């Protein structure tokens, strides 16, 4: 469109024909689909579910309700819809409600077009300015959303309260000819939700006693969390009935999709990228924590576990490696399994616990989730230790962990300090008899760095299967003989009961 056009007369001569915002989005979506362009770039895991549902709703010119738990990219999907708008649209210059020059709605625009005709000044509104968003909170009023009488405007213009020009428009009329989003819809008081009925069905707004009929042209997007229906509020049934498409969102269904999301969203400093390496196995462990949390008996499933947990955890893990490298004056390092103690603060603040979880305490639940993540992934990299527990005495299959466990059974122990240098880390792990041989047998092509990480993983894995003991105290992780630790505990020693 030629944005150099400055008057209504020029706009008429150009052949411009206005269309509704829903028609505009439909037209641009069809072009993208025909050209096989991504309609919602950066949204991972929704390719076969949420995105096709959204595309169908937009083709149907529907208002949309995204229903799903926290951290499921509902708002992000809504914000990306501005990419389906035209680059610019013409409006009556100075209009508060983005009046279409061919069909003005507000008293200001109607009077201006009547007065100036083809000389009515035109302004061009970019797509980015055609988006309005409001987080629903209990204190949101009808005046905020729809509008009210402005006594200051009445006094300044010396107008009576009966004059339409004293109206101060709310955020919804100001989003006319664009997209308007209400996040967490159930948090809106019922009487405020009722004020949206006419806007959704007929496009009308009602302000005080004014006989104003303004058929607004808006695509409405609402987001809601199912938990809100019971805990805080609910969506008024007639309002829900007026929202044509309800789309259910979900968490990533595979670790691969979860990895891509975290990689895309994590804000890793350029200095950290140069200094700290993070292995695929460690990334998978971090993601597995979220998967474990979503099925944990201690975590409230109605509340959900946001993707923000793994993003924050990933950033903390990298920072733990960076901090250690700085302390030890090392130019580079890798994130260790022990560094994942640093992700505990990212877990405790992002999970809602049920009663049993509260009894355990958030710290203990976070440690349990981390141990379960290790246990779940360990059998994907190494033989399942449980399969050797079940073997009979005369079984032919040799237990690959026997020499490692026997070394601990002799009373030996390993202390891994969180801030220990890479050299000391290697020396400490090298003390465990049979550990390096086990890695060579399972991963013959592993580099020294990879081998050390796998060696540490074996220790954490064996402890998660209750074959050796692991005790975490502040910045130290201690591995020792399971039986010896239990004996020490039962005899009143200062050892702690081993975690499973």
Q: Can you read off the two tokens belonging to residue 316?
A: 């903390």
Beta-strand (E) ranges in 184-330?
Answer: 218-224, 245-248, 276-277
Rg (CA), the chain: 31
Count the Cβ atoms, other than its own, within 10 Å of residue 301. Answer: 15
Q: How many CA atoms lie within 13 A of 447 on its CB side?
A: 4
How far is Cα 464 from Cα 391, in angstroms, rounded to an integer?
Answer: 19
Query: Which domains does the chain possess?
Result: 8-248 (3.40.50.300), 257-381 (1.10.8.80), 400-490 (no CATH)
Contact 185, 222 (CB under 8 A): yes
Q: Once rounded to an integer, what is the mean pLDDT over residues 386-408?
A: 76
**Residue 227 predicted with pLDDT over 90:** no
Q: Which of 220, 214, 222 is nearest to 97 (CA)?
A: 214
Q: How confident is the model at residue 129 (pLDDT cuts 50, 70, 90)?
A: very high
Q: What is the pLDDT of residue 338?
A: 93
Q: Which of 458, 461, 413, 406 is nearest to 435 (CA)?
A: 458
Contact 196, 134 (CB under 8 A): no
Q: Can you read off the two tokens belonging to residue 381?
A: 């990299």
Q: Name the more confident of 327 and 3.
A: 327
Q: What is the pLDDT of residue 301?
A: 86
Q: Which of 225, 409, 216, 415 is nearest to 306 (CA)?
A: 225
Q: Which of 450, 452, 499 is nearest to 479 (CA)?
A: 499
pLDDT in tens, 53-79: 999 999 999 999 999 998 899 999 999
Q: How confident is the model at residue 170 (pLDDT cuts 50, 70, 90)?
A: confident
Q: What is the pLDDT of residue 496?
A: 43
């Amino acid at each position: 469109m030629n944005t150099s056009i400055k008057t209504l007369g020029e706009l008429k001569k150009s052949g411009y024909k206005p269309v509704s915002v829903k028609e505009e989005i439909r037209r641009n979506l069809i072009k993208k689909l025909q050209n096989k362009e991504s309609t919602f770039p950066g949204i991972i895991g929704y390719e076969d579910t949420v995105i096709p549902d959204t595309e169908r709703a937009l083709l149907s010119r529907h208002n949309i309700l995204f229903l799903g738990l926290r951290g499921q990219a509902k708002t992000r999907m809504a914000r990306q819809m501005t990419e389906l708008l035209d680059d610019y649209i013409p409006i009556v210059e100075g209009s508060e409600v983005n009046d279409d020059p061919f069909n003005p709605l507000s008293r200001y625009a109607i009077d201006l077009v009547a007065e100036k005709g083809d000389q009515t000044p035109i302004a061009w509104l970019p797509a980015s300015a055609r988006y309005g968003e409001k987080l629903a909170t209990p204190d949101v009023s009808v005046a905020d959303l729809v509008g009210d009488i402005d006594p200051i405007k009445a006094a300044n213009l010396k107008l009576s309260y009966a004059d339409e020009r004293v109206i101060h428009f709310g955020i919804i009329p100001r989003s006319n000819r664009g997209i308007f989003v209400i996040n967490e819809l159930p948090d809106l008081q019922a009487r405020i939700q009722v004020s949206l009925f006419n806007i959704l069905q007929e496009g009308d707004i009602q302000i005080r006693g004014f006989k104003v009929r303004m058929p607004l042209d808006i695509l409405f997007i609402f987001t809601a969390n199912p938990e809100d229906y019971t805990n805080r509020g609910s969506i008024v049934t007639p309002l829900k009935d007026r929202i044509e498409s309800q789309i259910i969102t979900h968490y990533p269904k595979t670790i691969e999709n979860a990895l891509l999301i975290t990689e895309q969203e994590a804000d890793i400093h350029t200095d950290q990228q140069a200094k700290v390496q993070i292995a695929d196995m460690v990334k998978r462990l971090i993601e597995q924590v979220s998967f474990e949390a979503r099925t944990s008996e201690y975590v409230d499933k109605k509340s959900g576990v946001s993707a923000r947990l793994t993003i924050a955890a990933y950033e903390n893990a990298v920072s733990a490696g960076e901090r250690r490298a700085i302390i030890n004056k090392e130019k580079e390092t890798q994130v260790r399994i022990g560094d994942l103690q640093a992700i505990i603060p990212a877990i405790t603040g992002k999970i809602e616990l049920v009663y049993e979880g509260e009894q355990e305490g958030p710290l203990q639940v976070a440690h349990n989730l981390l141990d379960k993540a290790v246990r779940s992934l360990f059998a994907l990299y190494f033989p399942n230790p449980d399969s050797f527990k079940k073997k009979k005495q005369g079984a032919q299959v040799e237990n690959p962990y026997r020499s490692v466990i026997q070394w601990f059974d002799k009373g030996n122990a390993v202390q891994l300090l969180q801030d220990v240098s890479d050299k000391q880390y290697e020396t400490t792990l090298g003390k465990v008899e049979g550990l390096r041989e086990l890695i060579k047998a399972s991963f013959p092509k592993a580099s020294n760095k990879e081998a050390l990480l796998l060696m540490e993983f074996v220790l954490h894995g064996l402890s998660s299967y209750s074959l050796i003991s692991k005790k975490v105290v502040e910045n130290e992780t201690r591995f020792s003989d399971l039986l010896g630790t239990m004996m020490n505990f039962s005899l009143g020693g200062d050892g702690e009961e081993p975690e499973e």
